[in-house]
Chains A and B, each alone.
Chain A
């Protein structure tokens, strides 16, 4: 069955996690362990942290994430279209042109509104 291929993926996942964890286990056994107050502190170029670890994040990050979600789903629709294009006629191309135009209009709107600036 086709799906049995994924047994390998599962196996690979387990082996990869083991491979990633193995050096850490070795480190836990081998590396020295001398704790000190300075070492446990957050690193800020050798200076004590002043102020809270609260940073005001700008909306920019969220905008980029939303754009990414929208275009990611667009590619989710593009893949089946691309794969089935050979067996379908011109109407498939037209439908995809309409779809991409709608999404392109969204991108153009975002661009024109100026939200694609890192500001």
Chain B
């Protein structure tokens, strides 16, 4: 579906939502994962993002790409989600524990599911570097787009990004991914 189509959608129908998820769902999920490093959080954040898009009266106006617009909402959801996370930690939930949900088992399984070893390095970077590196390398965003999305001055984006690259290169070429954030 053409990017332009979305500009003229006054309100998303369930079919639009489906199409949107089909086109951008995986990247929204990925972005949520890059922000949080948690698969279960990424699941919930991706869900929140699309429900918000569906329910919100603020429609897409075509001022940025559809993906960047969705990323901005994802980012917002992720920070809200993280803020409320501490509440969850203190409530006894009685939720069934599933085998393999423990972080250690998950960490082990994770390494085996990654598409490329480079992700081990990227995911080991501190969050502020990781996000910018991914937006640059994977999504090829311009400095301006990154600045708008993250709310940072362009200069800060630029300097953080070059630090992110340097750190990643050191870790990647040194073969070490121990410097966990």
Q: Do A and B come from one complex?
A: no
B interface vs A, CB < 8 Å? none
Could you list which residues of chain A lie within 8 angstroms of chain B, going by C-beta atoms?
A: none
